[in-house]
Chain A
Amino acid sequence: MINNFEYFKPSQVKDVASLLKAYADNIKVLAGGTDLLVAMQEGDLAPDYIVDIKGLTDIDRIKYDKENQILRLGAATSLNDIAASKVVQKHWPLLAEAAQTVGSYQLRNRATIGGNLCNSSPAADTLAPLVALEAEVEMVGLEGSRIMKVKDFLVGPGQNRLSTGEIVTELRLPKPSGAVKGRYIKHSRRKAVDLATVGVAVIAEEGDLGYRFKVALGAVAPTPIRAYQAEKILNESELNEDIIDKAVQAAGEAIFPITDLRASKDYRLKMVKVQLRRAIEKVIDSWE
């Protein structure tokens, strides 16, 4: 049951920041509402104030910044818009693929990329890809803005580096220098409208020295994590089954899965390995 609250919809970021500063713990940011309203309905959150950020300029825009060669995703861009975006599909297919796996079509019309980030669930489908893609997040507060890697922004389940009075306004993705192949495998209980039991994001970017791998894993640690050791093994050797084996083993050692209703710790550990191998093989298949 949702209690009464006061609703604001400013058109200036500074007004959002002032409200957030003024009401601190008693205010929540509303983007798509797909996490917030459920939490309010279930009584987990009962803020007296809500600030809707959808009135901000360009907050729901996808823009490719040619000059700086970065993709700018407004924080309130819907996941369906990201999944359908031609530019995202072309250069960051991993993100388009992952956005498509979140919830249902109807939910993805509402759910936003910034919301998925700020909710900071370790199982969020867009986060492992954003970590693998080395995306950056722009945060704005009364004192100005700052930029941080998504990997560093995420601290733990539901926890991130946003300070009181700050909002996320934009996500930035650097354009890959060469051809890029990517794969997000969502391991879940059923084929649609489910949370990831395990999420595996793999990209391979073509460079002078051949393809370079980046690997991120979701739902197997307090935050989505980069599997650096696995990447190193893949990037420093001639690829063969043995090397992939070693990389997969290394990824298994980098994670700290838990047991919950969706799966046991042991099953998650196994699935990370199975799905990471499959994702790597699919990426390799796609460039051959």
Chain B
Amino acid sequence: MGKVIGKSVNRKDGVEKVTGAARYVDDMKFPNLLHAKVLRSPYAHARILEVDTSRAEALPGVKAVITGRCFPNITGLYIGDRTVLAQEKVRYVGDPVAAVAAETPEVAEQAVELIEVEYEELPGLFNPCEAMQEDAPLIHENINQYNHADFIDPVPDSNISNHFKLRKGDVEAAFAEADYIFEDEYQTPMVQHVPIETHSTIARYNLDGKLKIWASAQSPDALRELLGVIFNKPLNQIQVETVPIGGGFGGKAGLTPETPIAICLSSLVRERPVKLTYSRQEEFHCATVRPGIYANYKTGVKEDGDIVAQEIEYIWDAGAYNDYAVNVTKTGGYSCSGPYEIPNVKADSYCVYTNHPVSGAYRGFGMCEVHWGIEQHLDSIAEELGLSPLEIRLKNALQDGSLTVTSEVMQDVAYSECLEVTAEQIELEKEEESTSPTKLRGKGIAGAYKGPSTPPNASSSALIQILADGSINLIITATEMGQGTYTSLAQIAAETLGVAIDDINVSTPNTDYTPHDWQTVGSRTVFSTGNAVVRAAEDAREQLFDYAAEDLGVEAADLDIEEGIIFDTTEPANEDKRVPISKYALGLQYADGSGRGGQVIGRGIYMPEGITNLDEYGQGKTVNHWTFGCHGAEVEVDTETGQVEVLKMTTTFDLGKVINPQLAEGQLEGGLVQGYGTAILEELIIEEGEVLNNSFVDYKIPTAMDIPEIKSNMLETALEEGPYGARGIGEPAMIPAAPAIANAVYDAIGVRIKELPITPEKILQALAEKESKG
């Protein structure tokens, strides 16, 4: 264990969050603030014939009204398919059509109601399996003209925004040699992230043309870059500040519409900041959601459980705009078979436009969706072959030297250990007595793997400034949204520098001052930004040692720092050669009053090496590291009500190195609970494009009362590339929860629920079908 790393130090943002002193975007006050409100489409798919804003503009207190025509530039993270407001068409119920900024929220809302829009309704496409057909009407007529990242492949003249193709080995030959072939279908619906803080932004268009933005945004730099495209501005004319974020989970990554809308409004009333905060209702259906999936598996196995071939089709219901979802579906594609070694794989992952809410990143980034099927399919196969869930997984698990579906060679993999620890802890083989004759008990496990899902060249940077008194500012653009980033990165900085954790202050991201970080997504921050922080700290140490070496007459190589004191490692007790870092913080000073150098500013940058885009067959190494883990669940199913009580869950993940045990446990438990929510409760109920349950009345997430007893296990198989060996953990902890619960439900009642969520009515129906079949 290090001096700071591996310790559960207090959160850097603990006091302000616990006391309520933290100021989120919506808490910010300005004397001349304007309030924005958005007019949204009531139709899932329609042509906009006319927008009349004259009555809204005439309303006293209204300062700006905008429509789609005002800002035609197209943008998007991986495929440019969005404009600030809908232009000629609306593509989902909730698509922004016009917006108003007014002196009060009340006036803004009244004004929005005065805007008249004439639509011509078009037939909607609500099922991606139909929308992807060749003869389906196009949701994006201009798909052929859209700019996109080089690893994204839209299918011309179709609703398929990305077709990811993977071909490994010879699937046909392998199926011919398989002893058994199993086929299965699974589905998951769209779900919401449900952050405590809804999307919120304040934008001010200054008189000199500079933009100032305070946003609840996960990715200040990505946001700035995409805004640059929309507003034709140099990036140094756009300043994005991200104050504390009240939960993101991927839904506040990339470019979300509220910020460009607020900027457009402010541009008409320059110098007046405009605030746009989503209502909870808007949050449910107008903020990004997790895409739905239709997953089809065909798997060839040998008698002994060895999987020899797999053919997979993933069809994603990605909604109206897919600028982010295209990469979700690509990640789902290149991780298609889960954490198993299968020599022959054919996979097609289709990202499909539908007239549903906009989907994108959501904790797990495609992995929750694909593991839902993979991990249940595996249990079905095991049962047919007379193997236990643990046996079939161990038989096929990725391990050191294995080839993934993209033929990447694995190393430092402890997936099998995760499986074994979990199975042992929940006593997978032991049957438990149920509490009542109408209830059935069951246990299940499910595994998972995930990489950070970033483009290969996603980079991070960090600056470390040592101040005159030896206290330190760590300057980064990674955002704090509850996950503990400021704390874990401060621990990495303190450990590397050789100072106390309390000596480190962590900056709030502000793109005018803090250095580039690609995005705070993909469980990449401890790994990627952490590596940059290590390098920045090492750089600062070198500068300190350069001054100290001259000052103390000691070789730089012999110097070290502990508790903020530089000392000579060859004679550590020599008080004359023990100096606080503050002495050199602003450079070296000589006896005559002169000096050398200046402030110690450590600079660290990091970009993963040795990874590239995949080839046309989806082969190669494109993931900088993988995280592996396993969940176990014990459930009791009430056969009369269909209700599932999750009694206990075990989570085991290989974290590489635990930077802060308490924060890591928080991630494991939080991920598990979010997965539990999607397993048992959560689903956007959408009818003809309209979300029917866009409130907490009918969209339920788990409460403290629902959460099972959770045991967390953290393994530490060091990742060579990771800072102190650490791997990402934020998302992976969610992935196997739902399939583990489903497998436990199957163990209890002998019926498989293949479509999330596992509702009481589905259970009763499945039990009735089972009974009627005898």
Q: How many residues of A contact B (CB 8 A)?
A: 19
Contact of A191 with B761 at beta-carbon distance under 8 Å, contacts A1-B105, A261-B692, A271-B641 already known: no
Kindly name the residue among A1, A187, A263, A271 whose own CB sees the greatest number of chain B CB atoms within 10 A: A1
Contact mask for chain A residues 182-221; partner B; CB cutoff 8 A; 1 contact, 0 none: 0000010111111100000000000000000000000000
Closest to A4 in B: B106
For B703, the chain A residues whose CB sits under 8 A away are: 190-193
Contact of A162 with B by CB under 8 A: no
Closest to B685 in A: A261
Contact of A195 with B702 at beta-carbon distance under 8 Å, contacts A1-B105, A187-B641, A267-B764 already known: no
For A187, the chain B residues whose CB sits under 8 A away are: 641
Kindly name the residue among B693, B702, B703 whose own CB sees the greatest number of chain A CB atoms within 10 A: B703
For A270, the chain B residues whose CB sits under 8 A away are: 764
For A194, the chain B residues whose CB sits under 8 A away are: 700
- In angstroms, how far is the closest chain B Cβ from the Cβ of A282? 12
Tell me, in angstroms, the Cα distance from A283 to B487 when the chains sit together. 53
Kindly name the residue among A261, A264, A275 whose own CB sees the greatest number of chain B CB atoms within 10 A: A261
- In angstroms, how far is the closest chain B Cβ from the Cβ of A39? 12
- In angstroms, how far is the closest chain A Cβ from the Cβ of B648? 16
Tell me, in angstroms, the Cα distance from A264 to B83 when the chains sit together. 40
Tell me, in angstroms, the Cα distance from A194 to B701 when the chains sit together. 11
Tell me, in angstroms, the Cα distance from A274 to B436 when the chains sit together. 14
Residue in contact with B761 in the complex, picked from A1, A193, A264, CB distance below 8 Å: A264
A residues 155-197 in Cβ contact with B at 8 Å: 187, 189-195
Tell me, in angstroms, the Cα distance from A267 to B640 when the chains sit together. 11
Contact mask for chain B residues 92-122; partner A; CB cutoff 8 A; 1 contact, 0 none: 0000000000000110010000000000000
Contact of A262 with B by CB under 8 A: yes
Residue in contact with A191 in the complex, picked from B105, B705, B764, CB distance below 8 Å: B705
Contact of A240 with B by CB under 8 A: no
For A193, the chain B residues whose CB sits under 8 A away are: 703
Closest to A277 in B: B640
Contact of A190 with B702 at beta-carbon distance under 8 Å, contacts A263-B761, A267-B760 already known: yes
Contact of A68 with B by CB under 8 A: no
Contact of B431 with A by CB under 8 A: no
Tell me, in angstroms, the Cα distance from A25 to B329 when the chains sit together. 54
**By the criterion CB–CB under 8 Å, are B106 and A3 in contact?**
yes
- In angstroms, how far is the closest chain A Cβ from the Cβ of B676? 11
Tell me, in angstroms, the Cα distance from A190 to B105 when the chains sit together. 34
Contact of B503 with A by CB under 8 A: no
For B764, the chain A residues whose CB sits under 8 A away are: 267, 270
For B704, the chain A residues whose CB sits under 8 A away are: 192
Tell me, in angstroms, the Cα distance from A194 to B700 when the chains sit together. 8
For B697, the chain A residues whose CB sits under 8 A away are: 195
Contact of B555 with A by CB under 8 A: no
For B681, the chain A residues whose CB sits under 8 A away are: 189-190
Closest to A275 in B: B641
B residues 58-99 in Cβ contact with A at 8 Å: none
- In angstroms, how far is the closest chain A Cβ from the Cβ of B637? 14
Tell me, in angstroms, the Cα distance from A190 to B764 when the chains sit together. 17
Contact of B130 with A by CB under 8 A: no
- In angstroms, how far is the closest chain B Cβ from the Cβ of A82? 20
Contact of B304 with A by CB under 8 A: no
Tell me, in angstroms, the Cα distance from A80 to B680 when the chains sit together. 29
Closest to A262 in B: B698
Residue in contact with B641 in the complex, picked from A1, A192, A274, CB distance below 8 Å: A274
For A3, the chain B residues whose CB sits under 8 A away are: 106
Residue in contact with B706 in the complex, picked from A192, A264, A267, CB distance below 8 Å: A192
For A271, the chain B residues whose CB sits under 8 A away are: 641
- In angstroms, how far is the closest chain B Cβ from the Cβ of A17? 31
For A275, the chain B residues whose CB sits under 8 A away are: 641
For B680, the chain A residues whose CB sits under 8 A away are: 190
Contact mask for chain B residues 707-719; partner A; CB cutoff 8 A; 1 contact, 0 none: 0000000000000
Tell me, in angstroms, the Cα distance from A270 to B702 when the chains sit together. 25
**By the criterion CB–CB under 8 Å, are B705 and A192 in contact?**
yes
For A192, the chain B residues whose CB sits under 8 A away are: 703-706
- In angstroms, how far is the closest chain B Cβ from the Cβ of A183? 16
Tell me, in angstroms, the Cα distance from A267 to B693 when the chains sit together. 19
**By the criterion CB–CB under 8 Å, are B706 and A191 in contact?**
yes
Contact of A190 with B700 at beta-carbon distance under 8 Å, contacts A267-B760, A267-B764 already known: yes
Tell me, in angstroms, the Cα distance from A274 to B439 when the chains sit together. 13
Closest to A267 in B: B761
Tell me, in angstroms, the Cα distance from A159 to B759 when the chains sit together. 32
For A1, the chain B residues whose CB sits under 8 A away are: 105-106, 109
Tell me, in angstroms, the Cα distance from A213 to B214 when the chains sit together. 62
Tell me, in angstroms, the Cα distance from A264 to B759 when the chains sit together. 12
For B685, the chain A residues whose CB sits under 8 A away are: 261
Contact of A189 with B700 at beta-carbon distance under 8 Å, contacts A1-B109, A267-B760, A271-B641 already known: yes
Tell me, in angstroms, the Cα distance from A3 to B104 when the chains sit together. 12
**By the criterion CB–CB under 8 Å, are A274 and B640 in contact?**
yes
For B641, the chain A residues whose CB sits under 8 A away are: 187, 271, 274-275
Closest to B107 in A: A1
Kindly name the residue among B681, B685, B706 whose own CB sees the greatest number of chain A CB atoms within 10 A: B706
Extra A-B contacts (8), CB below 8 Å, given A261-B698, A271-B641: A1-B105, A1-B106, A190-B702, A190-B706, A191-B706, A192-B705, A267-B764, A270-B764
5 tightest A-B contacts by CB? A191-B705, A192-B705, A274-B640, A261-B698, A192-B703
Q: Interface residues, chain A, CB within 8 Å of chain B?
A: 1, 3, 187, 189-195, 261-264, 267, 270-271, 274-275
Interface pairs (7), CB distance under 8 Å? A189-B700, A190-B702, A194-B700, A267-B764, A270-B764, A274-B640, A274-B641
